[in-house]
Structure 1
Amino acid sequence: MSSTTYIVPFIKAVASVFKDMLGIVVTKGEPVDEGEEFGSQGFAVIVGFTGGWRGRFFLDMPPTAALRLASILTGEEYASPTEEEVLLSAAEIGNVVCGNAVTAVNDAYPGLNIRLTPPSVFVGDGFSMFNVRLSSYSVLMQTEAGPIKINVAVEEGKR
């Protein structure tokens, strides 16, 4: 399958979830060629998936964007990206985005039976992420909360 087959459902899911869940318009982004390694903007949600496709979905952003998204979602203000509600809000957003994308893929390609793993959230300056032995595609999108980068790393599994 082509790289667009992997990344497009996630781009559409980000735009849909951000609009419907958060009231935020996502400006279509530009592909980012990063290879197996890419640097985080400081706050990342990672959701794995398994089945006909195996891999990971990264929702990466600056901590300020995570604070803004959590504030929009909960109606509260937060001082630190490590506050529990900020972490939980980001995990929920990442999980919903990935769930919507995987549902679209499963509907389009019956028999893949892709399933999600629980989300994880990482916060910190200067950390890098690696996609070992997986095809990886990134897109940087702009929102009123700040820049959001998605990365989808995929290996086609057994059907």
Structure 2
Amino acid sequence: MATNHIVPFVRASVSIFRDMLDLEVRSGETEEEGDSFVSRGFTVIIGFTGGWKGRFFLDMGGETAMHVASTLTGESYSTFAEEEVLLSGAELGNIISGNAITDINNNNPGLNLRLTPPSVFTGEGLTMFNVRLSSCSVLLQTDAGPVKINVAVEEGNK
């Protein structure tokens, strides 16, 4: 998979983490993931369809997810399984993927990508297998902890 599929998602993630969450972000290198992805403990998954088919994963540890939720809501949380933490993660994933998909659609007329509703999974070491998808990731270092951005796109699509 061409690593350029992930660029709009990384750009949107860095922007949202800085502007909305007031977190400094340092971006790492893009790496090919192949057909599987291992969670750090808290993963938001949003699919997209249209000219490309695939998934966006926003992945972080539970402590990072609680920090993000606390920043968004002004509340504190004792576990990342609390409903407000899950909802905050889903909303953050929606905002990031929405910005990225808008950028992609604006630069690729006729691609007409659309998003699916987010799903949030919790549990360290959860492995997700991407059938007929190839993915790459970028690890973002934030003041709240590491956040992994992963984009899986159907092989053969550009």
Coarse TM-score class (shorter-chain normalised): over 0.9
In the TM superposition, residue 156 of structure 1 has moved relative to its aligned partner by: 7.0
8 A contact 2:134–2:155 mirrored in 1: no
Question: Matched residue of 1:34: which SS?
Answer: strand
- 1:102 is matched with which residue? 101
| Distance in 2 between residues matched to 1:91 and 1:48, nearest whole Å | 12
Question: Percent identity, aligned pairs only?
Answer: 62
Where do residues 50-65 of structure 1 align in structure 2 (5 Å cutoff)?
50-65=49-64
More displaced stretch, 41-50 vs 23-32: 23-32
Q: Secondary structure at the match of 1:112?
A: coil
Unpaired runs of 5+ residues, structure 2, are none
Structure 2 counterpart of 1:136: 135
Matches of 1:106 and 1:122, distance apart in 2: 28
RMSD of aligned Cα (Å)? 1.5
Specify every segment of 5 or more residues in structure 1 that has no aligned partner in the other structure, as ranges.
Answer: none
Tell me, yes or no, if the aligned pair for 2:44 and 2:90 is still in contact at 8 Å.
yes
CA offset digits 1:14-66 (Å, max 9, x no partner):
01111111111210112233211121101100000110111100001111100
2:77 maps to which residue?
Answer: 78
TM-score, structure 2 length as denominator? Answer: 0.94
1:54–1:156 CA contact under 8 A, matched in 2: no
Instruction: Count residues with an aligned counterpart.
Output: 157
